[in-house]
């Protein structure tokens, strides 16, 4: 079966006859014969709203340099999608027929990254333009020795099978992510009917949803992320696919899930992302310990704390304030830590010891699912254990604590706990006041803390026998 017999496919066929759009995958024929030559919709400049003035200078430089060198180069992905929606793109992705080494040879400020998916990062100051070589579906190009692709149990392990612009369009995840802006004539190229889905506000997987989700289960998280960000709804096929295949997320390397979790929760729409993750039953695959707490939720506690933390994160991002995964994970995992610490206290540990041990346990359990890099987990642990030190303000303790590098985060966390209904409101107010007053008043506040004189006497009593022995 050659290109001719496949040409008259209607759009419906692509979605309902996966083998067809997968380009006659089992055929041993040469590649040309297996490629469906569909003609894309070309939307001329006059009929869309993408203007070069909204594209970053750096992205334009990359596009022009590649085309001047004789390669084909298009803007694709989130940049095109967001511009068409009248939104400001987070970043710009370029797709080209130049191979990674060829891209590297063209740009001095270029680094090749990734193994699963090799791409070029071209850096301009703080901006990075991602340049990817056109990819094909694995099946469409196997045996041709062009780049490499590795699959296992239907999951893509390496995605470096190079192809044409058209191949590249079909192997992308969602139709709205497969629109190309052609810098040569300023048109938009649409193979997958992405424009229609963009207008309808629908996220639709290209191809057969089950196969595409098996190939890369992270697409489930991407679907949720784009739905949260764009306010789009998921096509019922994806919903059904997620329902059936959610568990495949447990097979995704934890380091990749960490990246996705950050994109989900630090992109400015964390609340919505969280609600959708829970709605689709995916949250538990990422944070099983938190999910277990949510399942036996008392007084809405963890839910409230989480939602407030995520809401604060969104609000900070909206006004350009920095956010850190350390605080985010501290909030996401607080309830498991709190509950584990309570059990350890019952078994006889001090509050601080219990929090330290619980933090350790919860972090190592979490890391099995989603990597939680040490540089962040160390800080989260400090935020948690400082919760046990914040009530101890007697004498010089409050002043010392105030100097702690993690004090501010621990105090913010205390505020969050108070807001979420934990019994720490008075303590939180005390610390708020403490920061507002001058040094003298701080000393006075500390001396008035209940038990402050008692603590000092106790320490003196302990020292005396030591000195006399």
For residues 140 and 27, give the distance between their C-alpha atoms in angstroms, rounded to a whole number: 9
Distance CA(258)–CA(260), nearest Å, equals 5
Question: Residues 97, 166, 167, 173: which binds ligand ATP (CB under 6 A)?
Answer: 173
Our CA angle for 238, 243, 248, nearest 5°, is: 95
Query: Which of ligand ATP, Mg ion, none does residue 335 bind to, with CB < 5 to 8 Å depending on kind?
Result: none
248 Cβ contact list (under 8 Å, min separation 6): 155, 213, 214, 217, 220
Q: Contact, 146 vs 161, CB < 8 A?
A: yes
Query: By CB under 5 A, is residue 217 in contact with Mg ion?
Result: no
* 3-state secondary structure at position 121: strand
| Integer Cα distance of 442 and 431 in angstroms | 10
62 half-sphere exposure, CB direction, 13 A CA radius? 31
Smallest separation (angstroms) from ligand ATP to the CB of 144: 21
CA 298/CA 339 separation, integer angstroms: 12
The reply on whether position 102 binds ligand ATP by CB under 6 A is: no
Give me the least distance between CB of 313 and ligand ATP, in Å please. Answer: 16
Using Cβ positions, the residue closest to Mg ion within the complex turns out to be 78
β-strand partners of 201: none
**Considering only 4-12, 173-181, 283-291, 411-419, which stretch makes contact with ligand ATP by CB under 6 A?**
173-181
d(CA 169, CA 164): 9
Looking at 97, 190, 197, 216, which residue binds ligand ATP (CB under 6 A)? 216
Residue 321 binding partner per list Mg ion, ligand ATP, none, with a CB distance cut-off of 5 to 8 Å that depends on partner kind = none
217 binds ligand ATP (CB under 6 A): no
User: CA 134 to CA 139: how far, in whole Å?
Assistant: 15
Q: Which is nearer to ligand ATP, 90 or 343 (CB)?
A: 90
Residues with catalytic function: 91, 93, 173
Q: Contact between 172 and ligand ATP (CB under 6 A)?
A: yes
**Residue 78 CB, nearest distance to Mg ion (Å)?**
4
CB nearer Mg ion, residue 91 or residue 365: 91
207 binds ligand ATP (CB under 6 A): no
In this chain, which stretch among 47-55, 214-222, 366-374, 450-458 interacts with ligand ATP, using CB under 6 A? 214-222
Of 77 and 147, which CB lies nearer to Mg ion in the complex structure? 77
Size of the site for Mg ion (CB under 5 A): 4
Which residues, numbered 86-105, are part of the site for Mg ion (CB under 5 A)? 91, 93
Counting Cβ atoms within 10 Å, is residue 296 exposed (0-12), middle (13-18) or buried (19+)? exposed
Nearer to ligand ATP, 119 or 340 (CB): 119
Q: CA 162 to CA 171: how far, in whole Å? A: 11
Instruction: Kindly write out the interface string for residues 60-99 of this chain, putting x where it contacts ligand ATP by CB under 6 A and - elsewhere.
Output: -----------------xx-----------xx-x------
CB atoms within 10 A of CB 427: 17
Interface residue with ligand ATP, options 138, 219, 393, 417 (CB under 6 A) = 219
Q: Three-class SS string for 188-242?
A: EEECCCHHHHHHHCEECECCCHHHHHHHCCHHHHHHHHHHHHHCCEECHHHHHHH
Partner touching 219 among ligand ATP, Mg ion, none, CB below 5 to 8 Å by kind: ligand ATP
Residue 111 or 463 with smaller CB distance to ligand ATP:
111
Rounded distance, CA 330 to CA 176, Å? 34
Quote the CA–CA distance of 306 and 299 in Å, as a whole number: 13
- Which of the stretches 211-219, 283-291, 309-317, 336-344 binds ligand ATP when contact is defined by CB under 6 A? 211-219
> Where does residue 469 rank: exposed (0-12), middle (13-18), buried (19+ CB within 10 A)?
exposed
Distance of closest approach, residue 86 Cβ to Mg ion, in angstroms: 17
Instruction: Answer yes or no: are the C-beta atoms of 400 and 442 closer than 8 Å.
Output: no
| 116 near ligand ATP, judged by CB under 6 A | no
Helix axes 218-230, 254-265, angle to 10 degrees: 10
- Beta carbon nearer to ligand ATP, 48 or 338: 48
Quick one: which of 34, 36, 40, 78 contacts Mg ion (CB under 5 A)? 78
Residues that bind ligand ATP (CB under 6 A): 77-78, 90-91, 93, 172-173, 177-178, 216, 218-219
Residues that bind Mg ion (CB under 5 A): 77-78, 91, 93
């Amino acid at each position: 079966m050659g290109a001719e017999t496949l040409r008259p496919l209607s759009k419906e066929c692509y979605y309902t006859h996966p083998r067809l759009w997968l380009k006659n995958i089992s055929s041993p024929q040469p590649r040309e014969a297996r490629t469906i030559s569909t003609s894309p919709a070309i939307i001329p400049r006059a009929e869309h709203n993408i203007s070069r003035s909204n594209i970053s200078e750096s992205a334009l430089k990359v596009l022009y340099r590649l085309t001047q060198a004789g390669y084909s180069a298009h803007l694709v992905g989130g940049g095109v999608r967001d511009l068409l929606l009248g939104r400001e793109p987070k970043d710009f992705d370029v797709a080209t027929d130049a191979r990674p080494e060829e891209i590297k040879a063209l740009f001095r400020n270029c680094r090749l990254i990734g193994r699963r998916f090799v791409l070029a990062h071209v850096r301009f100051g703080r901006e990075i333009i991602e340049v990817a070589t056109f990819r094909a579906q694995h099946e469409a190009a196997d045996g041709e020795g062009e780049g490499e692709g590795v699959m296992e149990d239907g999951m893509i392990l390496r995605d470096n099978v190079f192809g044409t612009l058209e191949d590249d369009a079909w192997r992308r995840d969602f139709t709205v992510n497969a629109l190309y802006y052609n810098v040569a004539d300023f048109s938009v190229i649409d193979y997958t009917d992405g424009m229609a889905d963009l207008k309808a506000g629908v996220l639709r997987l290209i191809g057969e949803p089950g196969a595409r989700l098996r190939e890369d289960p992270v697409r489930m998280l991407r679907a949720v992320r784009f739905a949260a960000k764009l306010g789009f709804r998921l096509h019922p096929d994806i919903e059904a696919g997620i329902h059936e295949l959610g568990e495949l997320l447990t097979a995704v390397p934890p380091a990749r899930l960490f990246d996705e979790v950050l994109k989900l929760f630090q992109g400015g729409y964390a609340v919505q992302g969280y609600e959708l993750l829970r709605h689709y039953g995916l949250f538990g695959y990422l944070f099983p310990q938190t999910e277990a707490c949510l399942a036996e939720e008392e007084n809405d506690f963890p839910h409230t704390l989480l939602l407030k933390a995520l809401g604060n994160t969104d609000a900070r991002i909206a006004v350009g304030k920095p956010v850190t995964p350390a605080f985010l994970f501290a909030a996401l995992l607080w309830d498991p830590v709190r509950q584990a610490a309570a059990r350890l206290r019952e078994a006889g540990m001090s509050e601080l010891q219990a929090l330290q041990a619980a933090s350790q346990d919860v972090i190592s359990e979490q890391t099995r699912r989603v990597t939680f890099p040490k540089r962040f987990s160390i800080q989260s642990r400090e935020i948690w254990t400082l919760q046990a030190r914040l009530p101890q303000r007697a004498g010089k303790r409050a002043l010392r604590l105030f100097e702690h590098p993690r004090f501010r985060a621990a105090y913010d966390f205390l505020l969050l706990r108070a807001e979420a209904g934990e019994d720490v409101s008075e303590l939180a107010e005390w610390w708020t006041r403490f920061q507002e007053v001058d040094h003298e008043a701080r000393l006075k506040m500390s001396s008035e803390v209940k038990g402050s004189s008692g603590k000092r006497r106790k320490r003196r009593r302990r020292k005396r026998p030591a000195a006399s022995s």
